[in-house]
Structure 1
Amino acid sequence: MNFPKRVNYQDSEKQLVIVGSKNPVKLSSTENAFSEAFSKSFLVNGVNASSGVSDQPKGSKETFEGAKNRALNSKNTFPEADYWVGIEGGIEEDEHGMLAFAWIYILDKSGKSSQAKTGTFYLPKKVTELIHSGMELGEADDQVFQKENSKQQGGSVGILTHGVLDRKNYYSQAIILALIPFLNQNLY
């Protein structure tokens, strides 16, 4: 893959961020979060990076591992970048039902890493039943809500909040939280 390392932009160089996915929502949320957090533009590209976990991660530990693996595998695929980002959505169950969330893992060229988790929300019973039968969350959403490829659009959070919070904003907030150590180098 030939990605440009840096691009000149208004007399400054854009830093390159590689996301361990080609999902347009993950790319867009990463670009949005980095630009907002650092108050400058970044060049964001995605690569197909293995998560090394199941297609539908279950539990916080497996989901975190998937995000970390995506970031590390992105670095192995394209080591010339400035940052690598892994985003992995997962599910887990507690006494109230099945909930959804995502982990974010960020690594920079100095070797510093950080992570953050999104907020959580409970899934409807019909979606939960389909996941128990072996479907991934995105497929279950598509079937229950008669959507097509919803995970590359608003996702569960967008569907269930009627667009008030879409997947891009949901991920962007957690990416910004994961960037805290990079924004406060003297503290971390």
Structure 2
Amino acid sequence: MALRIAIGSHNPVKIGAVESAFNSLYPEQQLDFLPASVPSLVSDQPMSEAETKAGAVNRAQNLATILPDCDFYVGLEGGVDLIDDLPFTFAYIAVLHKQQVYFSRSSALPLPKQVYTRLQQGEELGTVMDDLFQQTNIKQKGGAIGVLTKGHSSRQAVYTHTLLAAMAPISFSEIF
């Protein structure tokens, strides 16, 4: 019987990250991935660590209400915050499994202050990065991290690693 994994997004980067992580964790298992749009119940551009984490958890929990027969519910949320008065972007990923929420946070990517200023004015990171780097739909490609690392990392890679970390307590439930 296939494991059913609900994904709180239709963004191909987020779907690819979830597929990559689960395929590596369950290589012998048939997997069914079910992307769905669900509300995060936070701002379109979360501006704090707490809001970003809440968005990921809310997405995972809201998935369970619309797709009740899944084995895993994955909520992904990107956000920004100040660390020592410097702006950074990062993501939280929450996994709901057997009524328990597990989560992890990605590494933090420094942002130019001009980008953060525009985020404070209500714009979303993807839109600001598209404008700054004269590209289209960065958030469904390599993301801000792809651009700012000159392609040496990507949004999908960061999300994949963060999801693998969130899954550690599930993979090793006997010691967590």
Quick check: TM above 0.5? Answer: yes
Supply the AA of the counterpart residue of 2:51.
E
CA deviations 1:59-116 (Å, max 9, x no partner) are 11111100000000011010011100000000001335210000010011x2132100
Please list every run of 5 or more consecutive structure 2 residues that lacks an aligned counterpart in the other structure.
none
Q: How far is 1:168 from its partner?
A: 0.6
The answer to whether the aligner puts 1:130 opposite 2:118 as a matched pair is yes
Identity %: 33
Count of matched residue pairs: 175
Partner of 2:69 in structure 1?
80
Q: C-alpha root-mean-square deviation of aligned residues, in Å?
A: 1.2
Q: How far is 1:121 from its partner?
A: 1.1
**Equivalent residues in 2 for 1:85-164, closer than 5 Å:** 85-108=74-97, 110-164=98-152
8 A Cα contact 1:31 1:43, kept in partner: no
Q: Which has the larger radius of gyration?
A: 1
CA deviations 1:17-59 (Å, max 9, x no partner) are 0011111111110010111123345221210010000111111
> 2-side partners of 1:145 and 1:14: how far apart?
42
Supply the AA of the counterpart residue of 1:169.
A
> 2-side partners of 1:85 and 1:46: how far apart?
9
Q: How far is 1:129 from its partner?
A: 2.5
The answer to whether the aligner puts 1:175 opposite 2:163 as a matched pair is yes
Please list every run of 5 or more consecutive structure 1 residues that lacks an aligned counterpart in the other structure.
1-12
> 2-side partners of 1:121 and 1:18: how far apart?
27
8 A Cα contact 1:88 1:102, kept in partner: yes
Partner of 2:48 in structure 1?
59
Partner of 1:185 in structure 2?
173
> 2-side partners of 1:28 and 1:115: how far apart?
18
> 1-side partners of 2:84 and 2:174: how far apart?
41
8 A Cα contact 1:49 1:74, kept in partner: yes
